[in-house]
């Protein structure tokens, strides 16, 4: 009986470990750290920047700001505030809901300290509308990373960079 119980427990442990997500991929650029992993049909994102203002991550298949799906986040109190946005033109981004689309970003958590801000959220891999990007593991994308000193999403970034990476 002990042997059967041992094998059953071993099977359960090995099965649960099999489904654990792999170690996240990571990029560090201009003081910002971006980590991501793909699991359960979503991309799970964590970003840290040396600020107490907003952070932004954008996905695009082409270089440049226009047509970027931009996720902006800030912390109010201890709560994550997410805004799923679309860059219409340089210097002009709007809420996807205002454009008639369906916001896809789902909040996870946020933490703000004297060292900076960390946000976590997820997006579905399959775009729901023309304001989002179909994301695929192993494919190259242009990813915008930015942050500001202010929580107001209309405030200009103090640091912005674009990286080309493979999800």
Number of domains in the chain: 1
Higher pLDDT, 14 or 37: 37
Q: What is the mean pLDDT of the chain?
A: 88
User: Does residue 89 fall inside a structural domain?
Assistant: yes
Residues 6+ apart with CB under 8 A from 60: 67, 68, 69, 133, 141, 142, 143, 144
Give the tens place of pLDDT for each residue, 118-155: 999 999 999 999 999 999 999 999 999 999 999 989 88
Q: For residue 50, what are the domain limits?
A: 23-166
User: Does residue 7 fall inside a structural domain?
Assistant: no
Average pLDDT (15-30) is 69
User: Does residue 4 fall inside a structural domain?
Assistant: no
The model carries a pTM of: 0.83
Domain CATH number, residue 122: 2.60.40.1210
Are the C-beta atoms of residues 101 and 129 closer than 8 Å to each other?
yes
User: Does residue 14 fall inside a structural domain?
Assistant: no
User: Does residue 122 fall inside a structural domain?
Assistant: yes
User: Does residue 13 fall inside a structural domain?
Assistant: no
User: Does residue 100 fall inside a structural domain?
Assistant: yes
Average pLDDT (43-48) is 97
Beta bridge partners of 68: none
User: Does residue 3 fall inside a structural domain?
Assistant: no
């Amino acid at each position: 009986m002990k042997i059967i119980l041992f094998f059953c427990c071993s099977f359960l442990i090995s099965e649960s470990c099999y489904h654990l997500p792999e170690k996240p991929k990571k990029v560090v650029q201009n003081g910002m750290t971006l980590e991501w992993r793909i699991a359960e049909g979503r991309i799970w994102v964590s970003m840290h920047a040396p600020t107490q203002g907003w952070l932004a991550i954008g996905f695009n298949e082409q270089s440049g700001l226009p047509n970027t799906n931009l996720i902006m986040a800030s912390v109010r109190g201890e709560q994550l505030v997410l805004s799923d946005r679309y860059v219409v033109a340089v210097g002009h981004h709007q809420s996807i809901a205002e454009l008639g689309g369906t916001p896809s970003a789902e909040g996870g958590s946020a933490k703000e300290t004297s060292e900076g801000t960390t946000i976590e959220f997820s997006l579905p891999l399959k775009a729901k509308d023309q304001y989002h990007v179909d994301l695929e593991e192993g494919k190259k994308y242009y990813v915008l990373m930015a942050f500001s000193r202010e929580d107001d999403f209309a405030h200009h970034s103090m640091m912005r960079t674009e990286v080309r990476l493979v999800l």
